[in-house]
Amino acid sequence: MRRKSAQRRVGAAKMGKLDAFDIQLLNLLQADALATAEALARVVPLSASAVTRRVRRLRADGWITADMAVVSAKLSDRRLRALVSVQVHEHAEERGIAALRAKLAAVPEVQMILDVAGADDLAVLISARDMSDYNELAERLFQNDPAVRRYETSFVKRVHKQSAAIPLRAGDGD
């Protein structure tokens, strides 16, 4: 039993190269993670069993890390979405910035944390229930954090496109 788990860790760390079939499967699975091997085999010129083996390997090797459900706009459109630009203090220790990132990552309403270049240091996407909820979050996450110099919020009026998919092409897995 230990040998298999050790082999998986080595395989996940190794992450071999992706071929054209792997790239095609990854692109299709990003659009529909519930697609059956039979449905995938209708698009990718492989048998359903070969597709199943490849998808298993893509998961085991760490190329696929999660499957997600995207909730209906009926739920997400009611939420208040905020893009928060954060500047940290010039002399803030890396430990303080790391602690801020960790604090943000632990909050379910925080959907994305980006290190950015330019005047700001972080960009944070927050999905709050309403303005009162956002104000409480902003106070707890930014206003009272010693690493934060200033933050500025822009509110999302309308979403025209939202995707977590990354379009892959030949050579991306080299």
Q: What is the CATH number of the domain that holds 39?
A: 1.10.10.10
Q: Report the C-alpha gap between 113 and 123 in whole angstroms.
A: 6
Q: Report the C-alpha gap between 45 and 106 in whole angstroms.
A: 42
**Domain assignment of residue 141, given as a range:** 73-155
The domain tally of the chain equals: 2
Count CB atoms within 10 A of the CB of residue 44.
Answer: 20
Q: Is the pTM of this model over 0.85?
A: no
56 with 78, same domain?
A: no
Over residues 57-90, the pLDDT tens digits come to: 999 999 999 998 888 888 888 899 999 999 998 7
Domain final residue, candidates 36, 60, 84: 60
11 with 58: CB under 8 angstroms?
no
77 with 146, same domain?
A: yes
Over residues 149-168, the pLDDT tens digits come to: 999 999 999 988 888 888 99
Over residues 124-150, the pLDDT tens digits come to: 999 999 999 999 999 999 998 999 999
